[in-house]
């Protein structure tokens, strides 16, 4: 892939350990994303997903490595990168319109009031909140609040949307509806998205590629699974696609067992032994040789191993 819109280049993160020294949360993470791509990252609790997202948001620096977005390395937070957290984090004293307009005004300080209002309204409409503009967060359901968070993030027309388990606090019905809307909006607007989820079905429904991380500490990016389903997929019949259960089982197998044993598996491979416990064709280029772990190597590997997934 030639369009490296986002390039995560060998980042690692260490935090001071309680007994002195430091703990490495994850190491040598390489990943590139194209403009308009939707990438989901999956891994067990504590492997460092939120830390990766915070680095992408510019909220904290990596201990090693760098992240380049649109040819500029990340030096701190920017309105080019909008974050949607698990909890919506709305300003409680402002209305729906007020919350979204506040974000618009912080990006375009000198925008005329009527234009500002129009920009906010456009995204309130896009997330299906037309008619609720005057309501305050306390008057909204959890799903509606999360929609305001999405409208607010989209309204500043960010280069990337970073989402940290944005739907996990919602009931199944609302979650499904919001997934549909986010998918529709991203397709319509060509939005680039990096999203954390624990939900395998959500990842397969939304993502173009799914990044699998091993357990922490010292987590690594183990695989990048290219979604074999057609881009034009529908929630109702996504599970009928002949490759759906293959890819789903592959990700679940990874989470259940290989996320723990991956390091050993790779050591065995390096010693030239066939992996004894997985039966999977592993993308070596995606795992332990990070400098080769480019978008292209991973993509071509998945093309070969996709049917085994």
**Residues lying near Mg ion in the complex (CB under 5 A):** 50
Any contact of residue 293 with ligand ATP (CB under 6 A)? Answer: no
Token duo for residue 81: 């990168």
Which residue number, 48 or 290, has a Cβ lying nearer to ligand ATP? Answer: 48
Instruction: Choose the binding region for ligand ATP from 44-52, 67-75, 141-149, 279-287 (rule: CB under 6 A).
Output: 44-52
Residues 232-291 that bind ligand ATP (CB under 6 A): none
Structure tokens at 300: 């071509």
Question: Judged by CB under 6 A, which stretch of 42-50, 94-102, 226-234, 252-260 contacts ligand ATP?
Answer: 42-50
> Minimum Å distance from CB 6 to Mg ion?
19
User: How would you label 37-70 residue by residue, b for 16+ Cβ within 10 Å and e otherwise?
Assistant: bbbbbbbeeebbbbbbbbbbbbbebbbebebebe
φ/ψ of residue 116, rounded to 5: -60, -45
Applying CB under 6 A, among 7, 12, 51, 191 the residue interacting with ligand ATP is: 51
Helix (H, G, I), strand (E, B), or coil: what is residue 29? strand
**Shortest gap between Cβ of 217 and ligand ATP (angstroms)?**
7
Residue the block writes with tokens 């690692």:
12
Would you tell me how many other CB atoms lie within 10 Å of the CB of residue 16? 9
Restricted to residues 199-228, the positions that interact with ligand ATP (CB under 6 A) are 216
Q: Which span (1-9, 43-51, 229-237, 277-285) binds ligand ATP, by CB under 6 A?
A: 43-51
Largest separation between any pair of C-alpha atoms in the chain? 67
Residues 288, 265: Cα–Cα separation, whole Å = 11
The answer to whether 45 contacts ligand ATP (rule: CB under 6 A) is yes
Residue among 25 and 298 whose Cβ is closer to Mg ion:
25
Among 3, 22, 46, 187, binds ligand ATP (CB under 6 A): 46
| 51, interface contact from Mg ion, ligand ATP, none, CB < 5-8 Å by kind | ligand ATP
Query: For residue 236, what is the DSSP state?
Result: G
φ, ψ at 103 (rounded to 5°): -65, -45
Chain residues binding ligand ATP by CB under 6 A are: 15, 25, 43, 45-51, 216
């Amino acid at each position: 892939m030639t369009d490296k819109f986002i390039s995560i280049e060998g980042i690692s993160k260490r935090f001071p350990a309680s007994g002195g020294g430091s703990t490495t949360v994850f190491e040598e993470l390489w990943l590139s994303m194209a403009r308009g791509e939707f990438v989901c990252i999956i891994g067990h609790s504590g492997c460092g997903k939120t830390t990766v997202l915070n680095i992408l948001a510019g909220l904290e620096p990596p201990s090693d490595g760098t992240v380049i977005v649109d040819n500029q390395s990340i030096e701190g937070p920017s309105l080019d990168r909008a974050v949607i957290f698990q909890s919506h984090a709305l300003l409680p004293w402002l209305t729906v319109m007020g919350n979204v307009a506040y974000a618009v005004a912080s990006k375009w300080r000198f925008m005329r009031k009527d234009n500002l209002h129009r920009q906010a309204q456009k995204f309130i409409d896009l997330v299906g909140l037309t008619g609720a503009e005057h309501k305050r967060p306390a008057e909204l359901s959890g799903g509606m609040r999360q929609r305001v968070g999405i409208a607010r993030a989209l309204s500043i027309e960010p280069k990337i949307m970073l989402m940290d388990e944005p739907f996990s606090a919602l009931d199944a019905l609302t979650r499904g509806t919001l997934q549909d809307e986010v998918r529709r909006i991203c397709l319509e607007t060509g939005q680039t998205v990096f999203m954390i989820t624990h939900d395998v079905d959500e990842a397969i429904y939304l993502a173009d590629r799914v990044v699998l991380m091993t357990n922490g500490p010292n987590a690594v990016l183990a695989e990048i699974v290219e979604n074999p389903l057609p881009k034009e997929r529908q929630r109702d019949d996504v599970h009928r696609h002949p490759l759906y259960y293959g890819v789903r089982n592959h990700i679940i197998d990874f989470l259940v067992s290989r996320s723990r044993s991956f390091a050993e598996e790779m050591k065995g491979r390096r010693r030239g032994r066939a992996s004894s416990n997985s039966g999977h064709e592993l993308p070596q280029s995606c795992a332990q040789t990070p400098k080769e772990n480019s978008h292209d190597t991973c993509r071509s590997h998945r093309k070969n191993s996709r049917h085994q997934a």
